């Protein structure tokens, strides 16, 4: 789906995303849900950790930073199938087209 063709929406001031950033160290697999923040800063606590994304919905997007000193964050769909991994000390945008998730 593309945009409607209507004029651009302009934001004439700095953008503030109230509650838009979550920073956490995890000790077990986690599942991101709709109420979770757009920006996820995650330390896997010294192990590879599974991060399950919510069900596919067109336009859904998350920015995930793996701030751990070692190990990967292994991204999965809500059905448990693998999407890919984010290596330690790296980050990625994760976007959905309504059918599948993609790591950018």
Q: pLDDT-based confidence at 1, cuts 50/70/90?
A: low
* Paired sense of beta strands 49-52 and 21-25, if any: unpaired
Q: What is the mean pLDDT of residues 2-10?
A: 83
In this prediction the pTM is 0.90
Mean pLDDT of all residues belonging to the chain: 94
* Secondary structure class of 76 (helix, strand, coil): strand
User: pLDDT at residue 5 above 70?
Assistant: yes
Q: Show the tokens assigned to 90.
A: 């790296």
What percentage of residues in the chain have a pLDDT greater than 90? 84
**What is the Cα–Cα distance from 26 to 8, expressed in whole angstroms?**
39
């Amino acid at each position: 789906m593309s945009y409607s063709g209507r004029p651009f929406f302009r934001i004439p001031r700095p953008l503030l995303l109230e509650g838009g950033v979550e920073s956490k160290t995890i000790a077990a697999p986690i599942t991101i849900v709709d109420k979770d923040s757009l920006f996820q800063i995650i330390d896997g606590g010294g192990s590879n950790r599974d991060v399950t994304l919510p069900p596919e919905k067109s336009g859904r997007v998350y920015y995930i930073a793996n701030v751990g000193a070692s190990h990967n964050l292994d991204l999965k769909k809500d059905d448990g199938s693998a999407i890919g991994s984010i290596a330690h000390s790296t980050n990625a945008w994760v976007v959905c087209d309504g059918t599948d998730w993609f790591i950018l």
